[in-house]
Amino acid sequence: MWDVSVIDCPSNFDVKSHAMSDDNSRYNAAEVEPRWQAVWEKGDIYRADDSSDKPKFYALEMFPYPSGRIHMGHVRNYAMGDVVARYKKAQGFEVLHPMGWDSFGMPAENAAIATGGHPKDWTYGNIDAMKAPMRRLGFALDWSREFATSDEAYYKQQQAIFLKFWDKGLVYRKTAKVNWDPVDNTVLANEQVIDGKGWRSGAVVEQRDMDQWFFKITHYAEELLEGLDTLDRWPEKVRTMQANWIGKSEGLQMRFEWADGDKTFGEDTYTGTEVFTTRPDTLYGASFIAFSPDHPIIKALAEENSKIEDFRIACAKIGTTEEAIATADKLGFDTGLRVKHPFDENKTLPVWIANFVLMGYGTGAIFGCPAHDQRDFDFAKKYDLPILPVVQPHEGGDERVELEEAYTGEGTLINSGFLNGLSKDAGISSAISKIEEMDLGKGVTNYRLRDWGVSRQRYWGCPIPVIKCAACGPQPVDEADLPVQLPYEDIDLTIPGNPLDRHPTFKTGTKDNPVTCPKCGAAAERETDTLDTFADSSWYFARFAGGQGNGLPSDKPFDKEIASDWLPVDQYVGGVEHAVLHLLYARFFTRGLRDCGLLDLPSGEPFAGLFTQGMVTHAVFTDEDGGFVMPADVIEDGNQLLHIESRKIVSKGEVIKMSKSKKNVVDPDEIIEGYGADVARWFVLSDSPPERDVEWTESGVIGAWRFSKKVWSLVSESEKMDPMSVASDASGDALELRRFAHKAMEKITAGIESFRFNTSVAQIYELTNALKKYKANDSAKAEALGILIRAIAPFMPHLSEECWSHLGGQGLCYHAPWPVIDPAMLVEDEVTLPIQVNGKRRSELTAPKAISKEEAEKIALSDEAVQRSLDGLTVRKVIVVPGRIINIVAS
């Protein structure tokens, strides 16, 4: 089978001819769309009014990185948000729908290296280049609040927030093992490591010890977790992912004391070793203690014992990818040390070092209970350690049979002294109480979530407003001295390493103006790392909201009152790839801003409603030599595909996300030029459910384009009529049309409300088809047409304005209220009931809605087709569900 998208498109097909028709009877998007855009712009109709009395609605799409081009993914993303924004406007809400640029980041540096330019010039050039196509798509955006995160005014306020967070104890510095991306030459946060690889570069991430700035996101671990339950307009999937990421577990942190008294490792003396466990009920089954190779005690031991150092090195060699670590064989080293068992004075346990124990979780040490933990089991098998079952499965089972794997299920405790006979849960709480009584530990809650490392060794980001003094340590820059400006001159990105660190003046200042410690005044050095760009996108929505529409504040991040009025964002739309990155960081930031008194947002939740949309995909084309070919360069010739210039035979491959590297991209600009913005918008919303991927096909676009023409012909052939008409006195065919229109409108509205735009689209098609068949030019037609045009408006705003104005509608369609559905039109007085015999449909009956069960049963049984299928059978039962169905049970 050949790709329909190509076959359908004749080789001499000229897309420009569609929109540029000079035939007046045809809809000419190329002429119509800019004309309306000019009207909207002149009227400044999308500016949100902060002081409006109307109920507010904040619609937002994840703002773009200015890569230089708008792609179809953007079109789909913003089209969805635009549908919601326009719909809510028509529903009578005061709508805020802003747009800006997430403009710091690595691609600008890479582009600068590649082209010899400057990241700033590249970035702002791209923003200029992207604005025009964005405007051509006709989104209802309030551009008055636009900004870029790389604007000095923005990052200055971000530095101020950083300092406020510092004051509040939400920022700290420490040396830690960090994820190092060797390609981007920078540190990554845990959330930015995907499958052991950098989220942007794809390079295998290494572990390095480095001095880093951290945001204390763990301070809000519990609140971030609990808040998820309140986000009932978020996808379940995203909430689950965040909950898993936070990874709460409750258990016991306790100390195993050394068998032979206190010990000193390095400079510290320990009475024992701290472990964390979620299964204190299995303490009697403990057969060893295991340390992480990175545990401070082990590090100290390694300095004196070369065998331990060798073992640490062996563990480090396994690999740095998460998967390699997860699937590596269990490795252990017996330190010879022993600890006391807390419940059994006569028992001591050996202390091992084990490669599967993570330093980053719990205390970096565990007690091993091989019978009831698979990892401990594998380890015990390998090193011949005792395996003592202490949980008896409820259903039979003999504890003396040798286990083949760990048993982790419910059961009754055995071999466990005072815990014998208890269930798992009762055992856990008993064991915790006992340990607390013995003063060896206490019940604790642990989280998998780690603090957010935000230092990046890159140039194109927000400078961290800190001065490092040899005497006083790191000091915050005085607020009056903000912003710490990112230098434009003398930036060399071509050598690896931190560009700001080797800048001639940034770090230490100039002779006349040296960098000095804000505390003691001595010569000092500026912090040369920049903030993770995810910080930039963690509060931009608040600046949009608190920007007052007439300019962005220069003395504060946002106006507290106004921002707090608009927030939370009522509907946020973006890609699911940010499920635990941006969406978690933003939830942290709003809590920090709240607790610093900058934002009045008690819940701390920035986004009340979230929708994660699917991607735009396209088939990949390859030529004979295996090179990728742009879809626009492929033509159909006979029954084969050819490259338009080289005439090489092209084959169609898999359908995947549009990407530059595979060349399976369609340029929105070309589509706008060829078919119009409305068609592009309509197509990306029409075919697939919004959360799923949509495959871009030429035939699909042509279908959307045909539909736009169909609507126009319907309107242009019609006489002038008031699109706000209500034909309340309609009868006969007119009444039927009216019913149809109101029923369709109800479904269209429900579709928009529940983000099932494809079903709204289907209903719009049906209403259009019904109108096409309706020939009279009466008030029922006027009403139905008016409904149709307003239903289309959120999807195809230009076409709807043109239709509205052509019919003689008052004002702009954008300002027209959403059609009011007449409930009487949704109720049929006649219904058609299917008649089933033994669950199989045999006939149907049309009757007044109010027909009695008895009457319906009587008619059904006397139906000819029913009689035929009942031949030879006895009726046992007749089920009549009023308004639904009749089922006759016979045997």
List binders of RNA among 694-713 (CB under 7 A).
Answer: 694-695, 697, 699-700, 702-703, 706, 709-710
Applying the rule CB under 7 A, the residues between 445 and 504 that interact with RNA are 446, 448
The Cα–Cα gap between 158 and 479 comes to: 11
The Cα–Cα gap between 67 and 125 comes to: 10
Q: Which is nearer to RNA, 313 or 522 (CB)?
A: 313
The Cα–Cα gap between 111 and 120 comes to: 10
Question: What ranges make up the beta strands (E) of 755-870?
Answer: 830-837, 840-848
Report the SS3 class of residue 476: strand
Instruction: Please choose, out of 475-483, 681-689, 733-741, 810-818, the segment that lies near RNA by the rule CB under 7 A.
Output: 681-689
Q: Which residue is listed with tokens 């700033």? A: 120
Closest CA to 57 of 467, 780, 567: 567
Q: Does position 687 bind RNA by CB under 7 A? A: yes
Given 136, 156, 279, 663, the residue binding RNA (CB under 7 A): 279
Minimum CB–partner distance for residue 367 and RNA (Å): 7
Given 762, 845, 847, 859, the residue binding RNA (CB under 7 A): 762
Q: Give 762's contacts (C-beta < 8 A, 6+ positions apart).
A: none
Applying the rule CB under 7 A, the residues between 285 and 324 that interact with RNA are 292, 318, 322-323
The Cα–Cα gap between 148 and 157 comes to: 13
Closest CA to 429 of 439, 420, 419: 419
Given 20, 204, 210, 241, the residue binding RNA (CB under 7 A): 241
Given 576, 735, 821, 875, the residue binding RNA (CB under 7 A): 576
Torsions phi, psi for 282 (to 5 deg): -100, 15
Q: Which residue is listed with tokens 């912090």? A: 527
Q: Does position 575 bind RNA by CB under 7 A? A: no
Given 129, 194, 414, 630, the residue binding RNA (CB under 7 A): 194
Total residues contacting RNA by CB under 7 A comes to 93
Q: Does position 659 bind RNA by CB under 7 A? A: no
Q: At what angle do helices 757-773 and 677-686 cross, to 10 degrees?
A: 110
Q: Does position 756 bind RNA by CB under 7 A? A: yes
The Cα–Cα gap between 256 and 271 comes to: 8
Torsions phi, psi for 87 (to 5 deg): -60, -45
Report the SS3 class of residue 290: strand
Minimum CB–partner distance for residue 368 and RNA (Å): 8
Q: Does position 28 bind RNA by CB under 7 A? A: no
Minimum CB–partner distance for residue 49 and RNA (Å): 35
Q: Does position 265 bind RNA by CB under 7 A? A: no
C-alpha count within 13 angstroms, C-beta hemisphere, residue 86 = 26
C-alpha count within 13 angstroms, C-beta hemisphere, residue 584 = 33
Instruction: Please choose, out of 187-195, 430-438, 625-633, 660-668, the segment that lies near RNA by the rule CB under 7 A.
Output: 187-195
Burial pattern 150-161, b for ≥16 Cβ within 10 A else e, equals bbeebbbbbbbb
Given 210, 325, 562, 861, the residue binding RNA (CB under 7 A): 325
Question: What ranges make up the beta strands (E) of 756-810?
Answer: none
Q: Which is nearer to RNA, 354 or 464 (CB)?
A: 354
Applying the rule CB under 7 A, the residues between 50 and 79 that interact with RNA are none
The Cα–Cα gap between 352 and 875 comes to: 78
Q: Which is nearer to RNA, 273 or 277 (CB)?
A: 277
Applying the rule CB under 7 A, the residues between 872 and 891 that interact with RNA are 877, 879, 881, 884-885, 887, 889
Given 289, 761, 784, 856, the residue binding RNA (CB under 7 A): 761
**Using only C-alpha atoms, what is the Rg of the chain?**
34
Q: Which is nearer to RNA, 159 or 768 (CB)?
A: 768
Q: At what angle do helices 677-686 and 72-90 cross, to 10 degrees?
A: 90
Q: Which is nearer to RNA, 762 or 847 (CB)?
A: 762
Q: Which is nearer to RNA, 316 or 522 (CB)?
A: 316
Minimum CB–partner distance for residue 689 and RNA (Å): 4
Applying the rule CB under 7 A, the residues between 850 and 869 that interact with RNA are 865, 868-869
Minimum CB–partner distance for residue 513 and RNA (Å): 45
The Cα–Cα gap between 364 and 296 comes to: 9
Q: Does position 240 bind RNA by CB under 7 A? A: yes
Q: Does position 508 bind RNA by CB under 7 A? A: no
Q: Does position 236 bind RNA by CB under 7 A? A: yes
Q: Which is nearer to RNA, 96 or 369 (CB)?
A: 369
Q: Does position 438 bind RNA by CB under 7 A? A: no
Reading across the β-sheet that carries 94-96, which strands appear in turn?
94-96, 56-61, 571-575, 610-613
Q: Which H or E run includes 383?
A: helix 374-383
**447 touches 362 (CB < 8 A):** no
Applying the rule CB under 7 A, the residues between 328 and 387 that interact with RNA are 328, 330, 355-362, 364, 366, 373, 375
Minimum CB–partner distance for residue 239 and RNA (Å): 10
Applying the rule CB under 7 A, the residues between 818 and 837 that interact with RNA are 832, 834, 836
Q: Does position 249 bind RNA by CB under 7 A? A: yes
Strand partners, 831: 847
Closest CA to 129 of 113, 114, 111, 154: 111
The Cα–Cα gap between 449 and 447 comes to: 5
Minimum CB–partner distance for residue 166 and RNA (Å): 27
Q: Which is nearer to RNA, 115 or 327 (CB)?
A: 327
Given 689, 726, 735, 875, the residue binding RNA (CB under 7 A): 689
Q: Which residue is listed with tokens 């006939």? A: 843
Q: Two tokens at 755?
A: 């983000």
Strand partners, 446: 249
Q: Does position 840 bind RNA by CB under 7 A? A: yes
Minimum CB–partner distance for residue 511 and RNA (Å): 49
The Cα–Cα gap between 417 and 422 comes to: 11
Which positions from 586 to 625 touch RNA by CB under 7 A, shown as an x/- string?
----------------------------------------
Minimum CB–partner distance for residue 836 and RNA (Å): 6
Closest CA to 97 of 46, 45, 56: 46
**374 touches 406 (CB < 8 A):** yes
Instruction: Please choose, out of 165-173, 201-209, 732-740, 840-848, the segment that lies near RNA by the rule CB under 7 A.
Output: 840-848
Minimum CB–partner distance for residue 662 and RNA (Å): 15
Given 81, 98, 100, 251, the residue binding RNA (CB under 7 A): 251
